[in-house]
Chains A and B, each alone.
Chain A
Amino acid sequence: MSTFHLGIALDGAGWHPAAWREPDARPRDLLSAGYWLDQVRVAQEAIADLVTFEDSFAIQSTDHFAPDDRLDQVRGRLDAELIAARLAPVTEGIGLVPTVTVTHTEPFHVAKALATLDWTSRGRAGWQVRVSAGSSQAELFGRRDFLEFVAPFDIEDPAVAAHVSDTFEEAADVVEVVRRLWDSWEDDAEIRDVATQRFIDRNKVHRVDFESRFFSVRGPSITPRSPQGQPVVTSLAHSRVPYELAARSADLIFVTPFDDDDARRILGEVHDAETRVGREGEPLQVWADVVVVLDADGETGQARRARLDETAGTVWTTDTGIDAGSAAAIADRVESWRDLGYAGVRLRPATLPGDLTAIARDLAPELRRRGLARGAYDRATLRGLLGLPTDVPSRYAAA
């Protein structure tokens, strides 16, 4: 069995800003359940370990920290956790990993939402943790005054650095309290003991009593422990502070190399972050993100990329590498990452369904031939698919 993993990142009509204009695109369906179900079914055909759903409280924008006024790109989206929940009963095998943000949400709600997704997907839930930095999202809630980011801003500016560091420190606290809430009911807390008229053994349901400088949560959760116990926690990261969040809190990190040297450097930095935060237990799984533009019938990936860029009116670049070409060429790249020590790859299809279909038809089988992707959904839970421990007793269980 392959120990290398395959993920697929879904967002809108695909990751390229001109994706919605492709002939096979469905730009009017992006808000329908059927659209998302169709995409995930193709990802299931690819036998991907998991699929992620992007999300943000902010509307899509070319400006990372404020809405723009463009009318020529996809704008508007649905809550990702609910998309995953809508798909849970009608998908099988594949892990469902929505983005759920932590800065303006209530940790108690986040914990029970993801635990419930784990129930309704029968053990296939994951979480892509994301922060909401800057004032424009804070203003949607009106509860906190946040720093306004005006480009170009200087990450070394003490005010910026403090805001970033606080935001990620708070995120680590949120993940910590969510994990505690997931443990607040032990696996066998429900006893239904008729003789003593007890539905639960109250000694197996625990307060979490979490306090940090950002918030406090008492617990226990209202939701009984879910099939995985601890759903899989992931995060996307590009630099030192987010690497440390992942090293402290996540099971799996998505990183963004532009080439092999970059991939080597990032892997080292992530390992350093693990050392700095004193990570114990399972090592952090490092997955590489890459946008893929695959060869199609009668048109090379390179030509498709050029055509998409021309439609968009710009040579599109993004936060990670973009690979355009044949399934074999992209598999070569993936193989080189595996050899460096990466645990998986998360493919971002440039267009939907185009590149996703090509992944299922061409790239995933090529990866499988090389032992770089699994051949079947042969584990019941997402933790099982990822090779994470599947017997995860509550931290509160008496030893």
Chain B
Amino acid sequence: MSETGKPRKQIILGAYLGGVNHHTLWQLPEAGSQIDFSSFEHTARTAERGRFDFFFLAEGLALRERDGQVFDQDVIGRPDTFTVLASLAAVTEHLGLAATINATFNEPYELARQLATLDHLSGGRAAWNVVTSFDAFTGQNFRRGGFLDRSQRYERAGEAVALVRALWDSWADDAIVADQASGRFLRGPDDAGRLPGQFEHHGNQFDVRGRFTVPRSPQGHPVVLQAGVSPQGRDFAAASSDAIFSPFTRLDEAQAYYRDIQERAARLGRAPGSVKILPSGSFVLGDTQAEAEEKARWVRDQQVTGKTALILLEQIWNRDPSSYDPDGPLPDVEPDVAAPPFIQGRALLDADRVGWANRLRARAEEHGFTLRETVIDQLSRAEFVGTPQQVADRIDDFVQQDGSDGFIVGSHLVPTGLDEFVDRVVPLLQERGSLRTEYTGTTLRDNLGLAVPERRAAEPEPALA
């Protein structure tokens, strides 16, 4: 039992491999490759050694550009998500493999097939982090272009997830008989007259039919993850996902979000605990608190050079900031909300540029920060800084107090950054009884404590949105 008197929650841990932003310190001599398979293998094996639930891979479908030129200052370039995860399935045994895959620039039939295949090939360890996009810049890399109006973003995503789930349900668990003696390979049509894999769906976004090729996978449905902050996004995530990435790492905000999602999920008829909440966090460890803080300061200085500070600021102001001094004050002009985005291929954290700029100004004034100090303060703080004991305590307390159900953790150092978390923090979490010492389930769903969704053989609802 925890101090609050409630049963102790088991912390869910995911691992991410840093890249494609200023948090990853490629400049360090010990920094390794961002593309060699060995980097992914090392991080995944380390996560498995630490009894993590899953390895998480982000995705971006266009290289970032600044003012029409490929961005050259941070890590850039990444592998194909599904391919790397399928390869990681060969070198891990228990670790979940979570793929961030865009529902806009992929078709449900192919997606359902790739995810179900990954689930088979990993023995039930596949997860899908559903993201949507509607930007014309990324669209230029695809046949269909930036075809989707922003207003249809959730409609398409909702219908895509529903259709993918219907395809996963199109084969019964026992559809393959494979009786060599009688020569019967497949079970015959079901009560509705459908052969294994047969499906039909007519919705606003998709009008499809045929026979799905992948028989039902070990998890039935791979685990579905989503992010959701806006009310619409929260409802969508609460309705159709198994876990949600939360942007909140301050306990009070996080608890409010946690409650809100659980209430929304309950209203939608979902069982308590069937939606897990997972913020992401980076960490810096030291033997003493002072040492950890000193190191965290050094990491921040490396991450946010004057040049990086200007570029991060430029995303908010949408203006060329090169005339400003990083060690001087914030720009006195207002953000340019009319111009096309100066930086392409990067999601903006807050679409309200003017409001965001004003918050930064207030913060700078309050603390007497320079431009660069303001950026460091707002955009580049490690969530967990301290001794291993302090970090373990903070993570555990956060989870036990319902700030979340766990964390996705990563480091500024690729690929070995996770090692010290596993070596030094994980044993303490295990000592507290909040993290498994051995895997107990065989699938990711088992390990997360999620039920297998009941197979729905009937016609799927056209859309959730």
Contact = CB atoms under 8 A, between A and B. Distances in A.
Interface of A: 20-21, 23, 25, 27-28, 31-33, 56-59, 67, 69-79, 81-83, 85-90, 104-109, 112-113, 115-117, 119-120, 122, 136-137, 139-143, 185, 190, 192, 194, 197-202, 205, 214-220, 222-224, 311
B180 A25 contact: yes
Nearest to A21: B180
B183 A222 contact: no
A142 B206 contact: yes
Interface in B106-146: 106-107, 109-110, 113-114, 116-118, 120-123, 140-145
Contact of A20 (B41, B185, B212, B213): B185
Contacts, number: 220
A216 B144 CA distance: 9
A71 B187 contact: yes
A71 B186 contact: yes
B78 interface: yes
B437 interface: no
A204 to B, nearest CB: 9
Please report whether the interface of chain B is mostly helix, strand, loop or mixed according to DSSP.
loop
Given A88-B37, A120-B83, A139-B208, 4 more contacts: A85-B86, A142-B207, A197-B305, A222-B62
A91 B369 CA distance: 55
B171 interface: yes
Given A71-B185, A223-B77, A79 B206 contact: no
A182 to B, nearest CB: 12
Counting chain B CB atoms within 10 Å of each CB, the highest count among A77, A81, A214, A222 belongs to A222
Contact of A57 (B60, B86, B109): B109
A82 B121 contact: yes
Given A194-B27, A200-B76, A59 B109 contact: no
Contacts of A57: 109-110, 113, 213
Nearest to B77: A224
Contact of B117 (A82, A107, A205): A82
B180 A113 contact: no
B213 A31 contact: no
Contacts of A222: 60-63, 77-78
A76 B37 contact: no
B63 A75 contact: no
A19 B63 CA distance: 47
Give the 6 A-B CB pairs with smallest separation, nearest first: A85-B86, A120-B87, A218-B140, A116-B80, A116-B83, A27-B178
A219 B118 contact: no
B267 interface: no
Given A57-B213, A72-B184, A217-B141, A86 B90 contact: yes
Contacts of A214: 143
B209 interface: yes
